[in-house]
Amino acid sequence: MTELLQHLFNGLSLGTIYALVALGYTMVYGVLKLINFAHGDVYMVGAFAGYYLGSVLGTDRAPNLGKAALVTIGAMAICGALGFVIERFAYRPLRHRARLTALITAIGVSFLLEFGFQLNPILRAPIEFPPGPSPRFFPALVDLGAPFDLLGATVSRIDVVGFAVAILLMLGLQWIVYRTRFGVAMRAVSFDSQVAGLMGIPVNRIISGTFVLGSALAAAAGIINASARPRIEPLLGLMSGLKAFVAAVLGGIGSVPGAMVGGLTLGFVEEFVAGYTSSRYRDAIAFTVLIVVLLVRPDGLFGKGRVEKV
């Protein structure tokens, strides 16, 4: 029972990360019908942005809540800008080309970030950039003290804070998507970008906004994840990104609540299967889930069926 509960908490911690990253995939897929392969790497950049901001602000010497908030918001801003730049210079010129072109470009951008970050540092002061291939350790942003016991299972305090932040961000996103003018415009573009344009919606600006929003969420996920599991490296986003994509597909790609549910479900499945069988199959689990979902219910849990037109 305790073991089950422990896996449940671990799954929840992992699932929130997947959910936050999956939101970016699902929103971009919604408006552009593009798998933004680089999104997992934006998540990695978020973790590194937090690492650099943290070391500049000196959180490792004196961690406090104010600095933690500053680091998180700073990293979200940096990744938002990165998302904007990627969309503007890599994807926008290809918008009306074949979708394969955009997919190949997305893979290119993804590898550019992954391997660009693995180069040996060119810039030495004030920060070592790019970070190089060896892993680095993320500084503790807040000092929360030892993990506590809940019904016999050990729960780390940072996981609780991370979960709370993630829930707040998701509620915020839900509010933006369903209650603001931007959200209405975004859903309109997602429904039919051509007609949305005819109705006076600035499609390009909405798409840029979607990338900024998704990338900022990925940065937050990067920081929450790095606070709980402090080992960060440039290839961090490769597997997590793909798994988050699986989460988005599982929830029904294009659906915001779907991404959240999908992320949590995938986190639980992965933790339970890895916990009760062999953790060495961890990476294969997500892909097995993906294949099963695509074969059994390709629209995901919350997706609407699409009719193919000629």
Residues that bind another protein (CB under 8 A): 32-35, 90, 93-105, 107-112, 114-116, 118-120, 192-194, 238, 242, 245-246, 249, 278, 280-281, 283-284, 286-288, 290-291, 294-295, 298, 308-310
146 or 296: whose CB is closer to another protein? Answer: 296
**Can you tell me the distance from the alpha carbon of 183 to that of 209, in angstroms, rounded to the nearest whole number?**
10
139 or 241: whose CB is closer to another protein? Answer: 241
Closest alpha carbon to 141 in 206, 42, 222, 200? 222
Minimum CB separation of residue 76 from another protein in Å reads 25
- The owner of tokens 């933006």 is 176
Minimum CB separation of residue 80 from another protein in Å reads 21
Minimum CB separation of residue 21 from another protein in Å reads 15
**Can you tell me the distance from the alpha carbon of 76 to that of 81, in angstroms, rounded to the nearest whole number?**
9
1 or 296: whose CB is closer to another protein? Answer: 296
- Which phi and psi angles does 278 have, rounded to 5°? -130, 130
89 or 178: whose CB is closer to another protein? Answer: 89
Minimum CB separation of residue 93 from another protein in Å reads 6
**Can you tell me the distance from the alpha carbon of 244 to that of 222, in angstroms, rounded to the nearest whole number?**
12
Closest alpha carbon to 77 in 221, 204, 170, 212? 212
138 or 211: whose CB is closer to another protein? Answer: 211
- Check: CB of residue 83 under 8 Å from CB of residue 34: no
Minimum CB separation of residue 258 from another protein in Å reads 16
